[in-house]
Amino acid sequence: MPFVKRTSLFTLALISVAAMLVTAGFIWSGIYNIGADDAHTRPVYAVLQTLRDRSISARASKLHPPPNLNDAAMIRQGAGNYAAMCAGCHLAPGMAATELSKGLYPAPPALATRAVTDPAHHFWVIKHGIKASGMPAWGLSMSDEYIWGMVAFLQELPRLDAKQYEALVAGSSGHAHGGGETKAHDDSADPHAGMDMSTAADEPAVVEHRHADGSVESHPVLKPTSPAKADDGHDHEH
């Protein structure tokens, strides 16, 4: 019956338009609280979580983790970078909550309490970050090789206690990922000094490497010679 069909189509169109107007009115009204100190409502959280998970897995499933993710050198390198760039939000064994870990929403997961089930998922998130959350895209300043190093370290992290974690970080060459690092600077002249999460500022002049057999090797860090060089973030070696 074409008449019935036409009326039901019309009703359907009317309902869709009404639903769209209600949604637009809701958004425009400002009723929804976007403040990070107030959790999302369940439906909004469910939608965002599904969008996030599907988006990451669709992209991460195309990646192939390198075969050397269990290499001690790779894990050690990741440890130094993690302590410098990630622990301020994701914490570490024996570390108390920080202003960032407490204040961000969604909260940064405490990565020491989570086993890595899918290295490609972690690689993708670290490289590209997550929109509208505090998770930055580290791929803009860090090459893939170093990002896989962090994944290698994250696989190890849940097995470490505070002492083992500190030893691993001390045995790494600190904050090193081939460019873009913030280098040691004069705290008195830097208004952001108190917010610096990197350990570069108090980097020792001598770096110690701990070998698997327990022996320790030290070598001096090559410090930049002029302040101008120190500020460019590229012209240095660890």
Single out the residue of 80, 93, 108, 119 in contact with ligand HEC (rule: CB under 6 A): 108
CB-nearer residue toward ligand HEC: 16 or 61: 61
The residue among 52 and 229 lying less far from ligand HEC, judged by its C-beta, is: 52
CA dist 130 and 114 (Å) reads 18
C-alpha to C-alpha distance for 119 and 7, rounded to whole angstroms: 54
Residue nearer to ligand HEC on the CB measure, 95 or 224: 95
Nearer to ligand HEC, 56 or 230 (CB): 56
Burial class (CB in 10 A: 0-12, 13-18, 19+), 63: middle
Binding letters toward ligand HEC, positions 155-194, x by CB under 6 A:
----------------------------------------
Query: Counting Cβ atoms within 10 Å, is residue 83 exposed (0-12), middle (13-18) or buried (19+)?
Result: buried
- Total binding residues toward ligand HEC, as defined by CB under 6 A: 21
Give the type of residue at 40: H
Q: How far is the CB of 175 from ligand HEC (least distance, A)?
A: 10
Task: Tell me which residues in 120-139 interact with ligand HEC (CB under 6 A).
Answer: 122, 125-126, 130, 133-136, 138
**82, 154 contact by CB (below 8 A):** yes
Question: How many Å apart are CA 43 and CA 14, to the nearest integer?
Answer: 24
* Amino acid letter, residue 113: T
The yes or no reply on residue 60 touching ligand HEC (CB under 6 A) is no
Instruction: Work out the angle at residue 156's Cα, subtended by the Cα atoms of residues 152 and 124, and round it to the nearest 5 degrees.
Output: 40
Residue of the chain from 60, 74, 79, 86 that contacts ligand HEC (CB under 6 A): 86
Q: Which is nearer to ligand HEC, 12 or 92 (CB)?
A: 92
Return the C-alpha torsion angle 72, 77, 81, 87, nearest 10: 20
CA nearest neighbour of 147 among 166, 172, 130, 122:
122
**How many CB atoms within 10 Å of residue 152?**
26
Nearer to ligand HEC by Cβ, of 12 and 51: the residue is 51
Q: Restricting to residues 19-48, which ones interact with ligand HEC according to CB under 6 A?
A: none
**Minimum distance, C-beta of residue 18 to ligand HEC, in the bound complex (Å):** 32
Q: Supply the minimum distance, in Å, between the C-beta of residue 217 and ligand HEC.
A: 26
Q: Contact with ligand HEC (CB under 6 A): which of 63, 95, 104, 110?
A: 104
Question: Which residues would be at the binding site for ligand HEC (CB under 6 A)?
Answer: 52, 85-86, 88-90, 100, 104, 106, 108-109, 122, 125-126, 130, 133-136, 138, 150
